[in-house]
């Protein structure tokens, strides 16, 4: 049963399209200042739909009147809508517990294991795939956010797989109600019910602290979000601020333009021109980014205005300067793509003096963050992204899981088997969890022995793990052996394991012992996804931000690198989910997303679509969402936008540049152009790591060049070789370089001359 449409009373001010991020912040600041002047800054609540970009928005609004007339500090009240809804629920019932991610995994798995309903054959087979549990979890989270229940869908005759999953979700939430838990995805729906019913005078208590609400990022407010906003602002002034052609998340589940949705909700829609932000706090606006026309073209389809040279000079119309220019990086492999990005970052730093935190590297999916970040750091580029990576990839978590596994063995046989496993004549089994755990602890913990497990074990699994952490100095080892960014993430992993241990001791879902902890920890590690939790992209120490492209929507950096711009990712081939085939999704109206858009829906939602050119409506709709994601990533670049792609194999020995269709469209549009960036191996060298690699490669590379010329009958200029080697020799003798580096360079000469042979 569809929820009733929200009734909003206020104004919706819409920017004409995605403007530069700094201009968006400046515009929000002006609207906030007007409300603060009328009602007082502490009486204005700023609600942003998504938590990402909240810090940047807070910084922008904090600049407004840093020294108010009353002499007191002015700190804007800014919250994301889910955060505010969570506080609303806590105001109603402070004893209610929010279900943590790990606890959710365990409870929903128990519900599914105990299901009396027959599991559809397709789901039985699909369960063997690695991403199955993650995909099911995402589907159920989305169904919860939209409050989709099986009873409400019976008339729609849902697919048997969806019917089964929705039935499990209903049982899952019944269990939550019995245990006084609330799931994070269910926070907004529950808060809507409480506010609309004014349960125990809740609405009066919650709304009594503000007189006006500024709803930012309104283009992403879904139906339940708008109902929450309506219940919250019955007695307050409401100003909504949104951008046309900028909705990505809302349009995933609900077609339509933001202006239409605002009008239907009862808001008075007003056009709003963006305020040009001053650069570095000085008067005057910064120069428009050279790729601004590309951003507009991707978002709205607007053709660029070209600057025609003076006709008196005899120039032809075709000689007009391009209105929009971005930079393009092409490489042979994905690894070389990241290497080229690292080189270009160091080049920009050398030329402009930009700090590392003025750069952002955006990937299509958040799962690509860990690998990309690691490769940048291997190339000598510090990165700033901090979050919670997959538990399976966390060395500290793996150590604690090994401890839990061996404590289970001790609990079962009193430690006799562990003692035998430590004996010299014990035959190792690479697949035995006990042997794997022992090997892991020997490698990580100095002077490890099974006695250490006995000393730290106790009646409480949580306190036992805490003793292990103290006795083995786990946190100290992390601090000494890891870079600060890895250390922070591993500390977070340790905290999550201790939270799971606490939950095991408090819940009746599993036994409060080592076996129960191992079961829950194993399941959490198995189903955990990288960076499913909050990601911090601007930590105090700085560094290059590596994030999913969606996270750049309310952010801006001097230079932005958009990675993996191949057709497989933009727009891609698999929309919404990997759980079901695309052909099934087209016939699943009960799926919690847009699966059967009409031609009118597509034309109404996206300005970039010509109704006459729509082929497959499903593919066309979600391909346009992908195009819009690119536009929002592009607008985050203040000075330089880099579009990066790499070759792909085509199923044979051939490889091809399968660039995104949107890059090809930009290239073929008059007035838009790309500036090619040299990513070849002999391009200019920037950055300490690249310089070291180039220096180490020169001796062998130069001698191989001479040998190639000799073997083909050519002539090699040995004078150039002599000059190069003399320069290297001078550096070794007189340069202030590390002894190990000097020895490595000498070794390269020995290898090249065949004087050293090693059996590695």
Residues 506-515 have pLDDT tens digits of 887 788 999 9
Confidence class of residue 71 from pLDDT cuts 50, 70 and 90? Answer: very low
Q: How far apart are CA 696 and CA 666, in angstroms?
A: 40
Indicate if the pLDDT at residue 473 is higher than 60.
Answer: yes
**Can you tell me the mean pLDDT for 290-318?**
74
**Res 749: pLDDT:** 62
The residues pairing with 14 across neighbouring beta strands, listed in sequence order, are 242, 271
The per-residue DSSP string of 104-142 comes to: HHHHHHHHHHT--SPPPHHHHHHTTSTTHHHHHHHHHHH
What would you measure as the largest C-alpha separation in the chain, in angstroms? 96
Q: How far apart are CA 192 and CA 45, in angstroms?
A: 18
Residues 420-466 have pLDDT tens digits of 656 555 555 566 888 889 889 999 998 888 889 999 999 899 999 99
Q: How far apart are CA 84 and CA 46, in angstroms?
A: 10
Indicate if the pLDDT at residue 306 is higher than 80.
Answer: no
324-389+536-676 in CATH: which number? 3.40.50.300
- Contact call for residues 630 and 298 (beta carbons, < 8 A): yes
User: Domain boundaries in the chain?
Assistant: 11-93+188-271, 101-183, 324-389+536-676, 395-527, 688-753
Q: What are the tokens at 726?
A: 């003399």
Indicate if the pLDDT at residue 310 is higher than 60.
Answer: no
**Res 279: pLDDT:** 56
Indicate if the pLDDT at residue 737 is higher than 70.
Answer: no
Confidence class of residue 759 from pLDDT cuts 50, 70 and 90? Answer: very low
Q: How far apart are CA 303 and CA 293, in angstroms?
A: 8
**Can you tell me the mean pLDDT for 404-409?**
92
Three-state secondary-structure class, residue 276: coil
Q: How far apart are CA 67 and CA 59, in angstroms?
A: 15
**Can you tell me the mean pLDDT for 51-79?**
74
Indicate if the pLDDT at residue 552 is higher than 70.
Answer: yes
Confidence class of residue 574 from pLDDT cuts 50, 70 and 90? Answer: confident
Indicate if the pLDDT at residue 295 is higher than 80.
Answer: yes
Phi, psi (degrees; rounded to nearest 5) at 672 = -120, 140
| Residue 398 or residue 314, greater confidence | 398
**Under CATH, to which class is 11-93+188-271 assigned?**
alpha beta
**Res 713: pLDDT:** 59
Indicate if the pLDDT at residue 217 is higher than 50.
Answer: yes
**Can you tell me the mean pLDDT for 198-223?**
94
- Contact call for residues 702 and 724 (beta carbons, < 8 A): yes
Indicate if the pLDDT at residue 536 is higher than 60.
Answer: yes
DSSP conformation class of 128: T
Q: What is the 3-state secondary structure (H, E, C) of 153-195?
A: HHHHCCCHHHHHHHHHHHHHHHHHHHCCEEEHHHHHHHHHHHH
- CA-nearest of 87, 13, 97 to 45 is 87
Q: In this structure, are strands 648-649 and 655-656 parallel, antiparallel, or unpaired?
A: antiparallel
The residues pairing with 269 across neighbouring beta strands, listed in sequence order, are 12
Helices (H) and strands (E) in the chain, counts: 31, 16
**Res 117: pLDDT:** 76
Confidence class of residue 681 from pLDDT cuts 50, 70 and 90? Answer: very low
**Res 338: pLDDT:** 95
CA distances in angstroms from 757 to 283, 683, 698, 744, 760, listed in the order given: 66, 31, 19, 15, 9
| Residue 606 or residue 532, greater confidence | 606
Most confident of 8-12, 317-321, 436-440, 574-578: 8-12
Indicate if the pLDDT at residue 721 is higher than 80.
Answer: no
DSSP conformation class of 131: T
Beta strands in 268-323 (DSSP E): 268-271
Percent of the chain with pLDDT strictly greater than 90: 50
In CATH terms, are 11-93+188-271 and 324-389+536-676 the same topology? yes
**Res 748: pLDDT:** 62
Residues 617-659 have pLDDT tens digits of 999 999 999 999 999 999 999 999 999 999 865 555 556 668 9
**Helix axes 514-527 and 101-113, enclosed angle (nearest 10):** 100
Confidence class of residue 311 from pLDDT cuts 50, 70 and 90? Answer: very low
Q: Which of 61-65, 371-375, 596-600, 663-667 has the lowest mean pLDDT?
A: 61-65
| Residue 613 or residue 435, greater confidence | 435
Q: Considering the chain, what is the average pLDDT of its residues?
A: 84
Q: How far apart are CA 547 and CA 559, in angstroms?
A: 14
**Res 615: pLDDT:** 85
């Amino acid at each position: 049963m569809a929820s009733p449409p929200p009734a909003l009373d206020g104004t919706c001010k819409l920017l004409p399209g995605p403007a530069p991020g700094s201009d968006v912040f400046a515009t929000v600041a002006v609207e906030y200042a007007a409300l603060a002047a009328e009602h007082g800054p502490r009486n204005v609540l700023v609600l942003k739909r998504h938590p990402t970009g909240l810090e940047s928005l807070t910084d922008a609004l904090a600049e407004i009147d840093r020294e108010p007339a009353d002499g007191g500090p002015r700190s804007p009240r800014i919250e994301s809508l889910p955060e505010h809804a969570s506080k609303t629920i806590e105001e109603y019932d402070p004893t209610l517990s929010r279900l943590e991610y790990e606890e959710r995994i365990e409870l929903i798995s128990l519900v599914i294991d105990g299901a009396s309903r027959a599991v559809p054959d397709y789901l039985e087979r699909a369960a063997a795939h690695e991403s199955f549990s993650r995909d099911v979890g995402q589907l159920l989270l989305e169904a919860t956010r939209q409050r989709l229940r099986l009873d409400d869908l019976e008339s729609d005759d849902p697919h048997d797989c969806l019917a089964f999953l929705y039935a499990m979700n209903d049982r899952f939430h019944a269990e939550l109600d019995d245990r006084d838990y609330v799931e994070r995805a269910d926070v907004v729906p529950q808060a809507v019910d409480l506010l609309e019913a004014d349960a125990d005078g809740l609405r009066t208590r919650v709304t009594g602290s503000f007189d006006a609400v500024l709803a930012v990022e309104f283009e992403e407010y879904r139906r339940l979000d708008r109902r929450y906003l309506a219940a919250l602002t019955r007695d307050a002034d409401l100003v909504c601020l949104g951008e046309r052609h900028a909705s990505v998340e809302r349009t995933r589940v609900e077609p339509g333009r933001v202006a239409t949705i605002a009008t239907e909700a009862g808001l008075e829609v007003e056009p709003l021109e963006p305020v040009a932000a001053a650069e570095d706090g000085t008067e005057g606006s910064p120069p428009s980014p050279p790729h601004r026309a590309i951003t507009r073209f991707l978002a709205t389809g607007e053709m660029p205005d070209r600057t025609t040279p003076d006709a008196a000079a005899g120039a032809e119309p075709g000689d007009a300067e391009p209105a929009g220019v971005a930079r393009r990086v092409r490489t042979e492999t994905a690894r070389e793509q990241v290497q080229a990005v690292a080189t270009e970052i160091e080049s920009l730093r050398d030329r402009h003096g930009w700090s590392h935190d003025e750069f952002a590297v955006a990937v299509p999916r958040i799962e690509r963050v860990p690998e990309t970040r690691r490769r940048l750091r291997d190339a000598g580029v510090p990165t700033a992204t901090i979050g919670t990576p997959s538990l399976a990839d966390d060395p500290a978590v793996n150590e604690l899981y090994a401890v839990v596994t061996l404590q289970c063995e001790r609990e079962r046989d009193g430690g006799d088997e562990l003692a035998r496993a430590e004996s010299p004549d014990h035959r190792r089994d690479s697949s035995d969890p006990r042997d794997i755990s022992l090997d892991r602890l020997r490698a990580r913990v100095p002077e490890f022995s099974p006695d250490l497990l006995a000393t730290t074990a106790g009646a409480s699994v949580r306190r036992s793990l805490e003793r292990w952490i103290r006795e083995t100095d786990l946190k100290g080892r992390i601090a000494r052996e890891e870079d600060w960014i890895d250390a922070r993430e591993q500390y977070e992993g340790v905290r999550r394991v201790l939270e799971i241990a606490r939950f095991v001791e408090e819940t009746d879902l599993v036994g409060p012992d080592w076996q129960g902890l191992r079961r829950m920890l194993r399941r959490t590690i198995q189903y955990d996804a990288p960076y499913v939790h909050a990601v911090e992209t601007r930590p105090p120490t700085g560094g290059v931000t590596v994030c999913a492209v969606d996270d750049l929507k309310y952010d801006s950096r001097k230079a932005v690198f958009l990675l993996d711009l191949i057709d497989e990712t933009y727009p891609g081939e698999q929309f919404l989910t990997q759980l079901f085939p695309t052909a099934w999704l087209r016939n699943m109206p009960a799926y919690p997303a847009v699966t059967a858009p009409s031609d009118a829906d597509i034309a109404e939602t996206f300005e970039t679509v010509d109704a006459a050119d729509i082929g497959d409506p499903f593919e066309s709709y979600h391909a346009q969402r992908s195009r819009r994601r690119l536009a929002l990533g592009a607008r985050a670049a203040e000075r330089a936008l880099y579009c990066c792609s790499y070759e792909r194999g085509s199923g044979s020995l051939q490889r091809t540049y399968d660039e995104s269709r949107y890059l090809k469209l930009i290239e073929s549009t008059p007035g838009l152009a790309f500036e090619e960036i040299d990513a070849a191996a002999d391009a200019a060298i920037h950055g300490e790591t690249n310089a070291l690699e180039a220096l180490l490669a020169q001796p062998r590379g130069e001698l191989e060049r001479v040998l190639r010329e000799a073997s083909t009958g050519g002539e090699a200029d040995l004078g150039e070789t002599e000059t190069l080697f003399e320069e290297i020799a001078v550096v070794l003798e007189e340069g202030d370089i590390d002894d190990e580096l000097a020895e490595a360079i000498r070794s390269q000469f020995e290898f090249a001359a065949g004087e050293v042979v090693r059996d590695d």
